[in-house]
Structure 1
Amino acid sequence: MCARHNHDCQRLMEPLRRRKGSNKRSRTGCRTCRARHVKCDETPGACRNCTSSGRACDGYDLQRLPPLTRSRKKTPGFRLLPEVGCGIRWHYTIPTLAGFFSSVLWEKLVLQMSYAEPAVYHAAVALSAIHQDVEMYGMPLPGQELDNTWHKFTMEQAGRSYAILNERHFSQDPRLREVMLLCCLLFVLLELLRGRYDDAFQHLEGGLRILHELKAQRQLVIWAPHESPVEECLVAAFAQLDIQAANFKIGGPILRIENDLDRDTAVEEDRPVFNSIREVRRTIEPLLSRAFHFLMDCWALSNKEIVSHYKWLQLDQQELFSQFHRFAQQFDPFYHNSYPKLYRKDQKGADMINILRDTTSLAIRTSLIRDEALLRRYQPEYTAALFLIEEVMRTFRDRPNYTLDMGVVPPLYIISIGAPDYSLRWHAIELLRSWPHREGVFDSNWAAFIAEEHVKVQWRLRGFVEEEWSRCPWGSVGCKKSTPRKLEKGRWSTLGHEEYSIEQGLEKTKCMADWPCVQSLLVARSALLST
């Protein structure tokens, strides 16, 4: 294996060795070679001039990265499959992930490191290939098997990235850790697009544990002093996924930013109004982490369990509501006064934060209510929340189909399973289906599917049969069996939704058995069978 790796490494460096005869002075060399006033061979990551002589290569400045033609186009063995050779759009996919906010990670760091690091480049190409596939053919639900040219090319490119990382595993390159983390993040996202949640969460846990050991998350809390070898924007991306994955009960969150947030709150009780959208995001995301944990636990409890644990649950509920109230005192003045001054993208981000805050707060207030008559008192608020979401969705002319940020999917899911009126639930499901896309771990198609299954079970528990499904009196939005609609060109659909079942997902996705949304559905189905 070592001999093979050495052979591959020699092949990778051969184009660089052929340039040694040139007398042209390099302006893109590593820091060490420039300090020694010697010509750098510009090997991505760590140059051979340094490593072969036992020196530590200090890497490259971003503004002095080796150009694309030097670091990638001549990479031996790199050959696009003929079926996809004209379709790779990695410069399109990566910036798209910026989603609802301006992002240094997706708009700058990933693109720049792709020019310097072959491992990052191949991982980015792999992600772009699977992105292209789902745009063309649809987004798979958990457990759906897909095997086509795009998927094969995706795995080929991911394999190249793995191989390069393995070859550099014992390198002393100071940037290697960041390169590995960035590749890890890209692997997480491409596995999510493939519907491979087991693999995605395994990659995510590995990256999070590295960051946790480095205590890199401290830089995401304003007060905390930090010296991290990892870019803040990369840490923030992992922290977002950590919070989102907690909704799937996958052993997290691992970074626990909310613990540092408690110390921040203790130091500064009367904090001023937010000054930037960045400060808003740093504060709301740990709150959402706590809230989602609480909601997942409550939704999984039976009526009897709610009653027996009501005292302690209510204490947690009141504490959460108090935290959201404090957040509102800082956010509302910022939202109303600073909104016109924000860039258009950050305005959309502020709108999404407002929706998340509003809907999550409503879900917390109604989480312990099991009496339908009492729950109906909140119908005007659920209606207003749904109207707000729909209004914001209409402002998107070009809707992103893949973003790392949470937006409309969690709020619409909350309404689709928690609203007291079934017409509101069904309308939320229709809105999820009208914008098929992925927000980090959340998939609008999966959210719509699981919410619809909940509604069907509850409909049958009320005594109605399948034949009455199309005649249910739930308002003007209708209540018929949902089938995949014809979408505009470039918009995602769900693959084979009409043939998909929870059992199919459980068979091929091991972690799915722990998902609260699946557990609650299976409990409801059991109740239906026992009646």
Structure 2
Amino acid sequence: MPLNVPPTINRIISGTAAERAMFHHVCQCTITEFGNVALLSRLWSHYIVPLGYYSDSVKHALIALGSSHRAFVGDHRHHHHHGLVDTKPYEDLAVQQYSKAVRAAAADMQNLTPVTVRTSLVCCIIFICFEIMQGRYDKALQHLRSGSKILESISKAAAGPAHPSSASPAQKCLAETGTKYYFQLCDIADMFACLASDAAFLMEEGEVIPDLSFYWRVIGSKDVSEPFSGVDEARYELYRVEQALGKALSFSFRGKAPISWTAFLNLPEESLPQGDEWFEEWTVARHLFDVWSARLDSYGKALATRGDVSDKELWEAQMMEFIRKDWAMLIKISEASQSRPVHRKHFLELIDEAEVLVQSDSSGKEQPPPVFTLAADVIPRMVFIAAFSEDRDLQDRAIRLLYAMRRREGMWDSRELASVLQSILAARECDGWDREFEKVSLPRLAGMLQSLDLYEGGGTLPLATLVDEEASTQ
């Protein structure tokens, strides 16, 4: 698992009272919402935040993120306020601190050292989160790709000759960084890979970043009877499984072909992708899933015998089971010898479990506070049901849950996607709907809904900003 590093340093940072307050907010509020993603939260609290005490670029980036998140949650976590909180001061501070962070990061890269290389990667991660909070998903994707390219350059330099005579100072610096700080870079690369995987499923455009397998560590046990040591290991291995399955499916719920959403569950047998290359990829991914699933069973049994299980552990175990059930359904569809619609009860079970997970995560509050987390766990599953079930009652229920949960999981915003899905259902009932619309990704469809005045919500759809990014990768 991640490299052991000192815990977060508990001392005051330099800066104004507002800057210190927002640095405290990002540590105590923003990052704690990543708690259901154990691997990633440890990276933040044990490495990224401590860097903020020493690096100006990281400090200002964290303050910007904290300010943006404070504006995002409004007054929902600050009950001593009466009435609505004015979020503009937080928004202004976020923009100011982001500009400072960008300038400091640019200055760091002018003085390339193993330290500045790593702080630049950390800034990319924070900038991704900041841009997502701002609703600028295209900018978040640019930072995701920029950081991944740095990691790719490091891997190439580190894998080259030990002392190449023709290497430039920059190449030597990258090689030194990759050699001396490999395990630290593995944690950072895991973060990029996780964010990229969730973004790829949203865009349905295949892998959105370069190959980072140089940083993959063999950690998980191949013994299917060995339970996971904890939720952190289960989550980490799940990401490996999802990346493998995603690659085999071209990161599309509908497989490699641009299949109509409503036709997805009724495919003719001959249209299923059964080529040799696909079969090999699928076999590897399927094996990873089977091992992970068996170990999750063992972990669940071990958890049931313990008397000291925390609410966090229990919630995360329930989330793992929810995700497993969803993937098992998709795998069954993909491997069916002949096309068979998914039985309604499977969709019902997923919605029931999603409602329980969301309610327990919000402590049962009637008006849950907005949640920002990095793992796209619940929202994509509800989008799948609303898009593919062909059962209006199920679709409406999934959309209502998306509206109610007020979650942003990476680039997956529940209310924004609920608006898009609601517009799709309404547009299908009018003469202006084209079946070709159902063969494109949700970001591209969001752009079409806006340009054709089919979007009922009014205003703009941040999701549509990814359309240009999709086009640039084709």
Tell me, in whole angstroms, the C-alpha distance in 2 between the residues paired with 1:452 and 1:177: 44
CA deviations 1:399-430 (Å, max 9, x no partner) are: 67111123211221222222242211211111
Q: How far 1:351 moved relative to its partner?
A: 1.8
| 2:138 is the counterpart of 1:198 | yes
Instruction: Supply the AA of the counterpart residue of 1:392.
Output: L
| Correspondences of 1:62-77 after superposition (within 5 Å) | 68=12, 72-73=14-15
Aligned pair partner of 2:120 in 166, 172, 180: 180
Tell me, in whole angstroms, the C-alpha distance in 2 between the residues paired with 1:186 and 1:409: 22
| 2:49 is the counterpart of 1:105 | no
What residue in structure 1 maps to residue 191 of structure 2? 237
TM-score normalised by the chain length of structure 2 = 0.69
Instruction: Supply the AA of the counterpart residue of 1:499.
Output: G
Distance 1:441 1:508, change over 3 A: closer
Do 1:201 and 1:250's aligned partners in 2 also have CA atoms closer than 8 Å? Answer: no
| 2:473 is the counterpart of 1:511 | no
What residue in structure 2 maps to residue 491 of structure 1? none
| Correspondences of 1:339-378 after superposition (within 5 Å) | 340=306, 341-366=308-333, 374-375=340-341, 378=343
Distance 1:323 1:110, change over 3 A: closer
Tell me, in whole angstroms, the C-alpha distance in 2 between the residues paired with 1:500 and 1:513: 23
Tell me, in whole angstroms, the C-alpha distance in 1 between the residues paired with 2:273 and 2:9: 59
Instruction: Supply the AA of the counterpart residue of 1:381.
Output: H
Q: CA RMSD in A?
A: 4.4
Give the SS at the match of 1:438: strand
Aligned pair partner of 1:411 in 374, 378, 381: 381
CA deviations 1:79-121 (Å, max 9, x no partner) are: 969xx99998333344234231442223333332222222111
| 2:60 is the counterpart of 1:122 | yes
Give the SS at the match of 1:402: strand
What residue in structure 2 maps to residue 254 of structure 1? 209
Aligned pair partner of 1:449 in 419, 432, 435: 419
Aligned pair partner of 1:434 in 404, 421, 428: 404
| 2:74 is the counterpart of 1:136 | yes
Distance 1:165 1:515, change over 3 A: closer
Distance 1:256 1:333, change over 3 A: farther
Give the SS at the match of 1:414: helix
Distance 1:321 1:508, change over 3 A: closer
What residue in structure 1 maps to residue 300 of structure 2? 335
Tell me, in whole angstroms, the C-alpha distance in 2 between the residues paired with 1:152 and 1:306: 54
What residue in structure 1 maps to residue 26 of structure 2? 90
Q: How far 1:253 moved relative to its partner?
A: 4.6
Tell me, in whole angstroms, the C-alpha distance in 2 between the residues paired with 1:513 and 1:137: 39
Aligned residue-pair number = 396
Instruction: Supply the AA of the counterpart residue of 1:127.
Output: L
Give the SS at the match of 1:115: coil
CA deviations 1:160-210 (Å, max 9, x no partner) are: 112222223243653222211111111011111111111110101111122
| 2:355 is the counterpart of 1:390 | yes
Distance 1:105 1:264, change over 3 A: closer
Instruction: Supply the AA of the counterpart residue of 1:391.
Output: V
Tell me, in whole angstroms, the C-alpha distance in 2 between the residues paired with 1:180 and 1:87: 19
Do 1:126 and 1:158's aligned partners in 2 also have CA atoms closer than 8 Å? Answer: yes
Give the SS at the match of 2:52: helix
Distance 1:455 1:326, change over 3 A: farther
Q: How far 1:242 moved relative to its partner?
A: 1.7
Distance 1:179 1:457, change over 3 A: same
Q: How far 1:227 moved relative to its partner?
A: 5.5
Do 2:37 and 2:235's aligned partners in 1 also have CA atoms closer than 8 Å? Answer: no
Q: How far 1:497 moved relative to its partner?
A: 7.3
Give the SS at the match of 2:377: coil
% identical equivalent positions: 17
Q: How far 1:323 moved relative to its partner?
A: 4.3
| 2:98 is the counterpart of 1:168 | no
Aligned pair partner of 1:380 in 332, 345, 351: 345
Give the SS at the match of 1:68: coil
Distance 1:213 1:450, change over 3 A: same
Do 1:185 and 1:204's aligned partners in 2 also have CA atoms closer than 8 Å? Answer: yes
| 2:391 is the counterpart of 1:421 | yes
Tell me, in whole angstroms, the C-alpha distance in 2 between the residues paired with 1:79 and 1:260: 39
| 2:156 is the counterpart of 1:212 | no
TM-score normalised by the chain length of structure 1 = 0.63
- Where structure 2 has 5 or more consecutive residues not aligned to the other structure, the ranges are 77-86, 159-178, 434-454
Do 2:36 and 2:312's aligned partners in 1 also have CA atoms closer than 8 Å? Answer: yes
Do 1:506 and 1:512's aligned partners in 2 also have CA atoms closer than 8 Å? Answer: no
Q: How far 1:352 moved relative to its partner?
A: 1.6
Do 1:243 and 1:286's aligned partners in 2 also have CA atoms closer than 8 Å? Answer: no
Instruction: Supply the AA of the counterpart residue of 1:405.
Output: A
Higher mean alpha-carbon deviation, 163-172 vs 353-362, is at: 163-172
Distance 1:318 1:91, change over 3 A: closer
Do 1:165 and 1:180's aligned partners in 2 also have CA atoms closer than 8 Å? Answer: yes
Higher mean alpha-carbon deviation, 403-412 vs 195-204, is at: 403-412
Q: How far 1:63 moved relative to its partner?
A: 8.1
Q: How far 1:148 moved relative to its partner?
A: 5.4
Give the SS at the match of 2:135: coil
Distance 1:506 1:381, change over 3 A: closer
Instruction: Supply the AA of the counterpart residue of 2:71.
Output: D
Q: How far 1:386 moved relative to its partner?
A: 1.6
Q: How far 1:229 moved relative to its partner?
A: 6.1
CA deviations 1:273-292 (Å, max 9, x no partner) are: 32232322222112222434
Do 1:273 and 1:331's aligned partners in 2 also have CA atoms closer than 8 Å? Answer: yes
Q: How far 1:154 moved relative to its partner?
A: 1.8
Give the SS at the match of 1:230: helix
Tell me, in whole angstroms, the C-alpha distance in 2 between the residues paired with 1:202 and 1:260: 21
